[in-house]
Amino acid sequence: MKRLISLIVGLLAICGLLAYAGHHLQASSGSTGSKVLNLYNWGDYIDPQLLTKFQKETSYHVNVETFDSNEAMYTKIKQGGTHYDLAIPSEYMVAKMKRAHLLQPLDRSRLTGLRNYDPQFMGRSFDPTNRYSLPYFWGTLGIIYNDRFVRPGTVNHWQDLWSGKYRDKIMLIDSARDIMGMALASQGQSMNTTNPQKLRAAEQKLTRLAPNVKATVADEIKMYMTQNEAPLAVDWSGEAAEMLANNHHLHYVVPSEGSNLWIDNLVIPKTAQHDRAIYAFLNFMAEPKNAAQNAEYVGYATPNRAAKALLPAAVRDDHQFYPNTTTLHHLEVYRDLSPTQVGLYNDLYLEFKMHH
Amino acid sequence: MTKRRTWTYFLPYGLWLALFVIAPVALIIYQSFFDLGHHFTLSNYSTYFQSATYLKMTANSVWYAFLITLFTGLISYPTAYFIHQLKHRQFWLLLVILPTWINILLKAYAFIGIFSQAGLANQFLTFIGIGPQQILFTNASFIFVATYIQIPFMILPIYNALDDLNPAFINASRDLGASNWQTFRHVIFPLTLPGVKAGIQAVFIPSLSLFMLTRLIGGNKVITLGTAIEEHFLTTMNWGMGSTIGVILIVAMIVVMLLTGDQKREGGTPR
């Protein structure tokens, strides 16, 4: 018994020491110090050289923590105990965080780079006056095809996927909103519709696509497409950019009749503590040179008009990732629907998946 | 004094039970009574039992879990029996257990490599002149990989049951003139049945709720209850419905336990 007690006391002492050392280390590395900026970002979603440059110019040290889904980020910020100064949620999550009072409004008088942004990506439904968010990167939903199996130019529209030629040839991204949205867009409907009849019709249309669907998978699509496992896939442009970089037979098409426009945004969570560093960083990232460098590193489309002009012509004029104006006009940002409405999308999507 | 001692020894186990078994189950049951708007309701259960989608999914899950358990059993019993006859049985048993030390996700990715269009299996098929086939994303490949993953969990209890079997019974059966088949049919198999039942318990329930494999290997062509739970918790954020399916799985587990539970414990497996 005595030995047990001394063991427990010893363990407690070690725990205490570790806690003290941890606190000390954290203070010296600066996540709670004053010359720092705590950035909560997706993995590998910023050029590390820019962070060094920012530190050199402003002497603020940037601590980066990463998340892998909007929901994970939301939960962590909502639970508190974190000190994130900036986070990068997608558009629907901006609306959700706004409603949950997790965001601080931007002080426009302290932003110097606002005019660099393309108005197309400002003032969208999730934040109509950009009171809380600045666009970081944007992209689309589209079709990826492999030119070893599909003749270039034969797949341009959603409807082409329904062709009998592509039996058991298509991979879909496992996402209710996107796949239901694709069916809606193919019928000329809005991807934000809440009309139950239209949604039901979209589900019935999807069911007719079932024989052509090889698999409904998540991130693995990248790996499968790179390995020539399937001729066609429906996925987001960001994922497509990675696939195209690894396999030169792959191409990306945004159907001109309509698709989703997604925007990742910089926001200031309620937990932010380093005001000056935040605005220094927002202005630094809005500078065309920096935004262009970041866009080249990440490979996504930049909403910064001045930065886009600085990109190499081959990137700038690539209609796969910077679609022409007509297509751009038909793109829709997902509206933040109520839980019951999202529930309807999910139920119908699940029914479609059961029909495989 | 002794009584207090016993109570103290029970404390860690009791705490564990309360924190990691009773509390989560209670939370799941509690959650299952709330709809998307956080109102207390029974609608999740009525949706479940009225929706053709969920009923079909349940039937699918049970059917596939049954097939996986069946194939696992068909492979595991002879294997366990064979290993038990061998000289270095501990070594062979170790080889059977070895794959369980590798993370299931890694094994799934390994199978993707083997089954893909340019994978080993298709290279072999091309070599013998059949030509590449679609192996990945078929029901057969899903059952194959699931069976592969479950086999060790079936072999172990059966092996233990064989180990517990008193050889005197077999000798007696032979002395009384029974053939090999009769000995197996009337002596060995009935006496190792508790091991088989334990194996079924260890395989059937996890198979009901498989979810990673259904997506990675099955390409979501088979939707099991496990997939639905994952979807409800991670993507659709409908925790109430996810919990409802969880409760139904727990009930299914109890039913399987009751059906396969052994009446007498002494000949059973050390679990």
* ipTM for the assembly: 0.82
Q: Which two tokens stand for residue A6?
A: 């001394």
A327 at interface of B, judged by CB pairs closer than 8 A: no
pLDDT of B267 strictly over 80? no
Residue B270: pLDDT over 50: no
A176's tokens: 């209710």
Q: Is the pLDDT of residue A22 over 70?
A: no
- Chain A with chain B: Cβ pairs closer than 8 A: 72
**Which of helix, strand or coil describes residue B215?**
helix
A81, pLDDT greater than 90: no
More confident residue, A157 or B253: A157
d(CA A141, CA A156): 13
pLDDT (mean) for B234-248? 87
Residue ranges per domain, chain A? 31-138+263-316, 139-261+322-353
Rounded Cα distance between A19 and A27, Å, is 12
Confidence of residue B242 (pLDDT cuts 50, 70, 90): very high
B12 CA to chain A: closest CA distance, Å?
Answer: 14
Q: Taking CA atoms, what residue in B is nearest to A171? A: B219
Residues of A in contact with B111 (CB under 8 A): none
Superfamily (CATH H level) for B55-261: MetI-like (1.10.3720.10)
Three-class secondary structure of residue B265 per DSSP: coil
Predicted local distance difference test score (pLDDT) of residue A179: 95
Range with the poorest average pLDDT among A19-28, A107-116, B93-102, B170-179 = A19-28
- Selecting from A216, A227, A343 the residue whose C-beta is nearest the C-beta of B238 gives A343
Binary contact (A214, B236; C-beta < 8 A): no
* Cα atoms found within 13 Å of the Cα of residue B216, Cβ hemisphere only: 19
> Residue A33's pLDDT is what?
63
Please say if the pLDDT value at position A102 is more than 80: yes
**Cross-chain Cβ contact A214/B137 below 8 Å:** yes
**Strand boundaries in chain A, DSSP class E:** 36-42, 61-67, 86-87, 103-104, 133-146, 170-173, 213-217, 232-236, 250-253, 259-269, 331-332
Note the pLDDT of residue B2: 63
- Regarding predicted confidence, which is higher, A330 or B8? A330
Under DSSP, the state recorded for A117 is: B
Residue A208 has pLDDT above 60, yes or no: yes
The answer to whether the Cβ–Cβ distance between A215 and B137 falls below 8 Å is yes
The residue behind tokens 């005019």 is A115
Decide: B35 and B43 in contact? Cβ < 8 Å.
Answer: yes
pLDDT at position A250 over 60:
yes
Q: For residues B66 and B205, which has the higher predicted lDDT (pLDDT)?
A: B66
- Given a cut of 60, is residue A32 above it in pLDDT? no
Q: What is the pLDDT of residue A273?
A: 92
Establish if A343 touches chain B: CB-CB under 8 angstroms: yes
| Binding residue ranges of A | 92
CA atoms within 13 A of residue A339's CA, in its CB half-sphere: 13
**Do A139-261+322-353 and A31-138+263-316 fall under one CATH topology?**
yes
Predicted confidence (pLDDT) at residue B57 exceeds the cutoff of 50: yes
Yes or no: domain A139-261+322-353 corresponds to CATH 3.40.190.10: yes
Contact B36 A339 (CB under 8 A): yes
Closest approach of chain B CAs to the CA of A331, in angstroms?
Answer: 23
Q: Which amino acid is at B223?
A: I
* pLDDT of amino acid A30: 46
pLDDT in the model for residue B263 = 55
In this predicted structure, the answer to whether residue A1 has a pLDDT above a threshold of 90 is: no
Q: State the nearest Cα–Cα gap between A32 and chain B, in angstroms.
A: 31
CATH class of the domain at A31-138+263-316: alpha beta
